[in-house]
Amino acid sequence: MRAFFAADLPADLADSVADAQAAFEGADGLRFVDPEQAHVTLKFLGEIGEDQTEASTEPTLDDVIAAGERAVETADVGPFECAVRGFGVFPSLDYISVVWAGVDAGSAELTALHEALEAETTQLGVDSEEHDFTPHVTLARMNDARGKELVRETVRERDPDIGRFAVDDVRLVKSALTSDGPEYETVASFGL
């Protein structure tokens, strides 16, 4: 199964996320994410095995759950509050593949959780991240560059305050890709 660790935004911020996405209306080539599924990805795992088989080289679900428990304990982060504000893009304004809203307050705690999860999961054989961790909420993915100028202008000129939310757990999420977009299911939760 395809999986990742995340801190979820609450349902009451979905309208604020949708309002932030509306700033990019008219930018052709963008595919918006479902505001109801907004989250901060702490560590993308890729494919993990649901159970151990002799031929499998993927870490198992049980291995990943144990790694998540150890990581949350190692990070030693208690419940905290995050503030989502401002826009950014990956990898750069010259070549845009992802449009996101940044995390202001709470970024140090999210980074500590990411680093602990990174350390624990790479020991299981999960690929390490190739870029620095930037706490963010993905708003859209850019399929082609037709709307690039509007995205650039919006990112440079707007600094929306999307909202605050409490983080009191880390979730292990199963992601199933469908023609209507990804469907997420929480597999395990680790309290802070």
Q: Residue 51's closest CA among 43, 40, 62?
A: 62
Sheet holding 136-142, edge to edge: 30-32, 136-142, 96-103, 80-91, 161-167
131 is catalytic: no
CB neighbour burial string for 54-65, b if at least 16 within 10 angstroms, e if fewer? eeeebbbbebbe
Tell me, what amino acid is at 133?
A: F
Give the angle 22-139-97 at the CA atoms, nearest 5°. 115
23 Cβ contact partners less than 8 Å away, ≥ 6 residues apart: 87, 154, 158, 160
**Active-site residue, 136 included:** yes
> Which residue out of 136, 148, 171, 174 is catalytically annotated?
136
Residue in 14, 34, 39, 141 annotated catalytic: 39
Q: Which residues are catalytic?
A: 39, 136
